[in-house]
Structure 1
Amino acid sequence: MLAAKEHLVVTEQQVKEDAVYVIEDRGVIRGFYYFRSIGCEAELKWLFVNPEWIGLGLGKLLWEHLLETVKKAGISRFRIVSDPNAEAFYRKLGAKRIGWEPSSADSNLRLPLLEFTLDNSDAS
């Protein structure tokens, strides 16, 4: 995680231009997601839950909010370049692995490339 720290930054400009949502508790960020859509390309860049709060439903809460945001924007499909440890979470929610992407933090690591397609029952 420390090696990837510089890659885990969401800039002020990205917050202004894209969908960034945070769950905060008494001034401490417990989780967030960052979603970006340019033209017909859409990608969940980050969905992160503070490790102390994993297993308490925050990831699912962020995911449900993300689906509402995506649906309102008229997007029906998006990509996820997943941390290998998070792939099972995304697949449980319906994402499908479609390939692999090289890691920007570690040239020896390949990351699962997933795709999620909304259907009529998502985010409703």
Structure 2
Amino acid sequence: MYDYIVVGGGSAGSALAGRLSEINDARVLLLEAGPVDSNPYIHIPVGFLKMKGGPLTWGYKTAPQSHLNNREIPFAQARVLGGGGSINAEIFTRGCPQDYDRWANEEGCVGWSFADVLPYYVVV
């Protein structure tokens, strides 16, 4: 018996499961289709080139691209604990401040303005 089941151990799923587990007496199950992120290519920036296919991704490709001679481009969607955050070449994107502010001011997402979330991105 679980109080919460989180499907997907990517960045968001892992963070959500971690926060839910802070609730007293809550039983949380985190389901991830892939293994632990122990592959050495995950832990070196250049390793992303090796992560575009193989056992740690789902093997997705884009639709044929008409301007690229109908090539299908690999679309790396991780299948590993940590998800895309594990195979992203140790790069993160902070996002556009205007998007955060719109969520807070126009969409009713209190606490999601850029000023509110910036401290979570800044490493001290």
User: Per the shorter chain, which TM-score range?
Assistant: under 0.3
Scaled by the length of structure 2, what TM-score is found?
Answer: 0.24
The structure with the greater share of residues assigned to strand is: 1
The structure with the greater share of residues assigned to helix is: 2
Larger-Rg structure: 2
